[in-house]
Structure 1
Amino acid sequence: MVQHVALVVGASRGIGRQIAIDLAKDGYAVVVAAKSTSDASKVTPFPPNPNSTQSTISTVQREIHEQGGEATAIAVDTRDYASVQNLVAKTVEKYDRLDVVVYNSGAIWWAAVEDTPMKRFQLMQQVNIEGLYGTIQAALPHLKREKRGRIIVVSPPIYSRFFRGKAAYAVGKVGMSVLTKGLAMDFERQGLTEMAITSIWPAAAIESAATDKFTKADPDEARDLRKPTIFSDAILEMLKAPAAAVNGQLELDEDFLRRHVGVTDFSRYSFIPGTSPRRIMPAELPDLSVKEQADEGKRHDSSKEVRETKPSKL
């Protein structure tokens, strides 16, 4: 009987693949979800380059199986809510439970507003914030069944420099972090003290399909990369931490491992041995809390509003 089930959305390659593989090594049954599928039995050599298009949810499933783990590949288009609902339904049908959701899907376009076409903007919002929202909506009833569900979101801390030169991208990614904060408050108000949602973001750049483009143009940039295992290690530790310690937090991988696990030597995560990757995130992030006033006024809940409907005239 499977003890814990993790759904990793955006797990076909790069960071998502690493998260799926390491969750399986830790004993989770993993549902590997993304758009890309393939005939994994015909891929040679195996495993494929984890940042190439040869790496799909099918090959990740095979990798996990060959390492003795449990995995199921299910295709999903996060832009289509019906597809997301189908993903969650198939997950629960297969394993009869859902304990962890990791949302790693993301669309990227870093440019000024005037240089970001409307179609690019819409794609980013569909895949990033709307895809996350739909996944949470579909998964929440199952995560709440044991009142211990966990959600991990790949989204950044909220600070002004993140908006610079990529405002269209930041709209959705920061929106994901706002959703983390808001859902965490919902859990607290509902007394779900063993449930948690946490955002995670890299402190230094991580080797992935996205960074491959830059290192091919300038090989020296590889010196500033870390292995994706730093991300999966931080996520595994987040899942083991008490819910109250991580609920609603917007964490950086390095800082979380240092603060909560006591890691001081990060050299094993350097993509090129012996290098010290440059930190790209601020050393100190803003505190978003404010001094609350005693009376915030009447809180409205639109879901409980009663709307009178007039009978239609014939």
Structure 2
Amino acid sequence: MKTLKGKTLFITGASRGIGRAIALRAARDGANVVIAAKSNVPNPKLPGTIHSVAEEVRAAGGQALAIQCDIREEEQVRAAVAQTVEAFGSLDILVNNASAIWLAGIRDTPMKRYDLMNEVNARGTFLCIQACLPELLKASNSQVLTLAPPPSIDPKWWGPHTAYTLAKMGMSFVTMGVAAELRREKISINALWPRTIIATDALNMIPGIDLDRCRTPDIVADAAHAILVKDAGTQTGQFFIDDDVLAEAGVTDFSSYAVAPGQTLLPDLFLDPA
């Protein structure tokens, strides 16, 4: 079975949640993991910092580099890429996990929230790919994986929260466009999205979600791992769903990923019922 041993992953927003889970899954293979996020000091509302995750990565068997980085700032992103190469000698995989969310309609969305989401989600994804690309194209098995849903223009996903949907679909369209642009290069550029809502600390900031009806971030991390160990260039421009990826890999029982096994799971946004 292929592993990520010796590969260098640059993961945005990796100080908690799905990004942290992907970092720890790669660490168990012996990967080099760059934890690129804003969280440099503890936040009582959102546990986890780049430093705490770096310690966890090392304990799990990987090498870690914690970099405080706001992906809205071009200079910070390019400096972080340079630090990565200086520390590990290469950059093989970019995981665009960082994302901002605000689930409200036009009347209740301050423009600062609109700007934040679009700067982090769509622009941040584009910037990180652009900054990492020269190094990725030098790698022998380069991959970009973005946490974004299959593209959709169905009004039912836009009406309730146009600003968030625009920003999140921006990540999807960036993935689709850059994959098409670079389809002749030996690089895989894909997206991954969870079938169900994932229980993360950030959900505590959103009222009305029953965490017992969610899955843990480990399902997304395991699906990401299954995608990232494949040979570059064999699949690109794809929009994967986490449990589909794992089912293809032979997983038949998903109960271990449930926060509370036996509960009816909440479907994630942007996906129609299976």
Would you say same fold, with TM above 0.5? yes
- Please list, as runs of the form range in 1=range in 2, the aligned pairs for 1:181-260 lying within 5 A after superposition: 181-188=176-183, 191-192=184-185, 194-214=186-206, 221-258=210-247, 260=248
TM-score (norm 1): 0.79
- Please list, as runs of the form range in 1=range in 2, the aligned pairs for 1:1-314 lying within 5 A after superposition: 3-38=6-41, 53-146=46-139, 148-159=141-152, 160=154, 161-188=156-183, 191-192=184-185, 194-214=186-206, 221-258=210-247, 260-280=248-268, 281-283=271-273
- Which whole-Å CA distance do the structure 2 matches of 1:68 and 1:52 have between them? 29
- Which whole-Å CA distance do the structure 1 matches of 2:171 and 2:41 have between them? 30
- Which whole-Å CA distance do the structure 2 matches of 1:55 and 1:242 have between them? 32
Quote the residue 1:293 is aligned against: none
Give the conservation status (yes or no) of the 8 Å contact 1:270–1:276. no
Quote the residue 1:46 is aligned against: none
Give the conservation status (yes or no) of the 8 Å contact 2:122–2:168. yes
Give the conservation status (yes or no) of the 8 Å contact 2:27–2:58. no
Instruction: Return the offset for 1:53.
Output: 3.1
- Which whole-Å CA distance do the structure 2 matches of 1:123 and 1:278 have between them? 26
- Which whole-Å CA distance do the structure 2 matches of 1:278 and 1:127 have between them? 26
TM-score (norm 2): 0.90
Unaligned runs of 5+ in 2: none
Go from structure 1 to structure 2 and tell me whether the alpha carbon gap of 1:137 and 1:241 turns closer, same or farther (over 3 Å shift).
same
- Which whole-Å CA distance do the structure 1 matches of 2:267 and 2:40 have between them? 34
Unaligned runs of 5+ in 1: 40-48, 285-314
Give the conservation status (yes or no) of the 8 Å contact 2:36–2:67. yes
Instruction: Return the offset for 1:76.
Output: 0.2
RMSD of aligned alpha carbons:
2.1
- Identity score, percent: 37
Go from structure 1 to structure 2 and tell me whether the alpha carbon gap of 1:265 and 1:245 turns closer, same or farther (over 3 Å shift).
farther
Go from structure 1 to structure 2 and tell me whether the alpha carbon gap of 1:283 and 1:241 turns closer, same or farther (over 3 Å shift).
farther
SS in structure 2 of the partner of residue 278 of structure 1? coil
Structure of greater relative contact order (alpha carbons < 8 Å, 6+ residues apart)? 2
Larger Rg: 1
Aligned pairs, number: 266
- Which whole-Å CA distance do the structure 2 matches of 1:65 and 1:244 have between them? 30
Provide, for residues 202-233 of structure 1, a one-character-per-residue CA deviation record: whole Å limited to 9, x for no partner. Answer: 1101110222245xx668x1221101000000
